Amino acid sequence: MTETSNDRDALIDAARDAASRAYAPYSGFHVGAALLLRNGDVVTGANVENASYGLTLCAETAAVAKIANEGWIGELAEVAIVGGRPDGDALLGGAPVNPCGRCRQILNEAAERSKTDILVHCASGDGTAVKTYRLSELLPAAFGPKDLGLID
């Protein structure tokens, strides 16, 4: 889709900065996520891997955990995700990184609570290739708090 927002480039920059704090010694793939809140604040996360590989936390999950723990899960407006292999202090380019299935579901929790079909900007490591989606395109017919009768 072609929809963009003024926040897009700043949000991608914040995600790239977050990716520099990834702990990814096993895959060598650094991911950063930046969550824009309604009040303009940006909260970031990066992937956290584990010697027991399956326990890895994705960047989006780390970022959503941060906003939930602050009481802001219903304040999400927009998301940017960046991923790539490190090249010195930067990340190599390539294709835009797509959120994994689990992260789509975790983002959906915050999006439903925020009553917004959020924009998700998926960017390459160098930020030059970007694809923007609505979360509903990435996770159609989602299961969420509305299915449990918790929200309208």
Binding residues (CB under 6 A) for ligand THU: these are: 24, 27, 29, 31, 47, 49, 56, 58-60, 99-100, 103
Residues 6 and 84: their CA atoms lie apart, in Å, by 24
Smallest distance, ligand THU to C-beta of residue 151, A? 25
Residues 32 and 123: their CA atoms lie apart, in Å, by 10
Smallest distance, ligand THU to C-beta of residue 4, A? 21
Smallest distance, ligand THU to C-beta of residue 110, A? 15
Smallest distance, ligand THU to C-beta of residue 64, A? 11
Nearer to ligand THU, 5 or 56 (CB): 56
Nearer to ligand THU, 27 or 151 (CB): 27
The catalytic residues are 60
Nearer to ligand THU, 24 or 39 (CB): 24
Nearer to ligand THU, 42 or 83 (CB): 83
> What tokens were used for 48?
């956290």
